[in-house]
Structures are given as structure tokens and as C-alpha cells.
Amino acid sequence: MEIERRNENNIIGKLKAVILLMLVFTALFLIIFRYGEMINLNYDITRLNNELREKTGINSALYAELDKQVTINDIKYTAETKLDMNKPRNDQIIYINTKLSDDYNSQEKDNFYTMTSSVYERINHTFKNIVEIFKGSNE
């Protein structure tokens, strides 16, 4: 009876060890499988980013080609036919003289020069008074 119990305990111990070993291998397999999936997803992301850059370059080139194809006559035709626009009459045209002279005087500029000269006169007057005081003390 004791021998049967030992055999049962040995069998149960071995069974536990086998089950534990199977769980460890299963966990390791899942970890390695997930790691492989992540590597595949990173490759897919890289491939898709490269495709996106390529398609963006093609799209930019197409926009540049489209800009080259549009002429002033196409714009004029679209404006006249689809947007119902007309050329302005001579009395509707206003010309603006864009020549600006360099003799621009602003109020702020005048105020600055006035204040600056006023401060200069006060400093000069104060300096003269101090010089006169010292001259008077020497005599």
C-alpha cells in the first residue's frame, strides 16, 4: 500500500512537472509568436510608409503638371462662361499711384525730434548752471 502511494506520488509529481513544462513551453511559444507578429507588422508599416511617400511624390508631380496645363485663356473662358464675369468698363477702372516719396513725415517722428531737442536743451542748461556754480566758487 505504501509502495502504491509512492508510485502515485511519483506519477502525480511527474505529471505536475510535465504539465508545468508544457505551460512554460506554451507561454514561450506565445511570446515568440507575438514577437514575430510584431516584426511582421513593423515591416508592413515601413512598406506602407514608403508607399505613402511614393504616392505623395506622384500627387505633387500631378499637381505641378496641372498647374502647367492651366493657361490664362482657360481662366478667362471659365470666368466668362461659368462665373458670368465681364471685363470692367473704362469708368469702372481705378488707377492707384504706387510711387511713394521719401519725404514722409509722421506725427510720431516730429514728436520724437521735439522731445529729443527739449531733453537736450534741459541737459545743456543744467550743465551750464553747474559750470557757473563751480566758476563762482573759485573766485
Q: Is residue 24 part of a domain?
A: yes
Angle at 106 between CA 100 and CA 112, to 5 degrees: 140
Cell representation of residue 119: 531733453
Give the pLDDT score at 34: 95
Q: Is residue 139 part of a domain?
A: no
Sorting pLDDT into bands at 50, 70 and 90, what band is 97? confident
Q: Is residue 111 part of a domain?
A: no
Q: Is residue 98 part of a domain?
A: yes
Percent of the chain whose predicted confidence (pLDDT) is above 90: 33
Give the pLDDT score at 30: 95
Burial class (CB in 10 A: 0-12, 13-18, 19+), 51: exposed
Euclidean distance between CA atoms 13 and 19, whole angstroms: 10
Euclidean distance between CA atoms 122 and 73, whole angstroms: 69
Distance in Å from the first CA to the final CA of the chain: 138
Instruction: Examine the pLDDT at 109 and tell me if it is beyond 80.
Output: no
Q: Is residue 26 part of a domain?
A: yes
Q: Is residue 63 part of a domain?
A: yes
Cell representation of residue 89: 468698363
Sorting pLDDT into bands at 50, 70 and 90, what band is 104? low
- How confident is the model over 118-136, as a mean pLDDT? 82
Q: Is residue 115 part of a domain?
A: no
Give the pLDDT score at 6: 72
Give 33-70 pLDDT, tens digit per residue: 999 999 999 999 999 999 999 999 999 999 888 888 87
| Furthest C-alpha separation in the chain | 138
Number of domains the chain contains = 1
Domain limits for position 92: 2-105
The answer to whether 73 and 67 have CB atoms below 8 angstroms apart is no
Q: Is residue 53 part of a domain?
A: yes
Whole-model pTM above 0.75?
no
Cell numbers 516719396: residue: 101
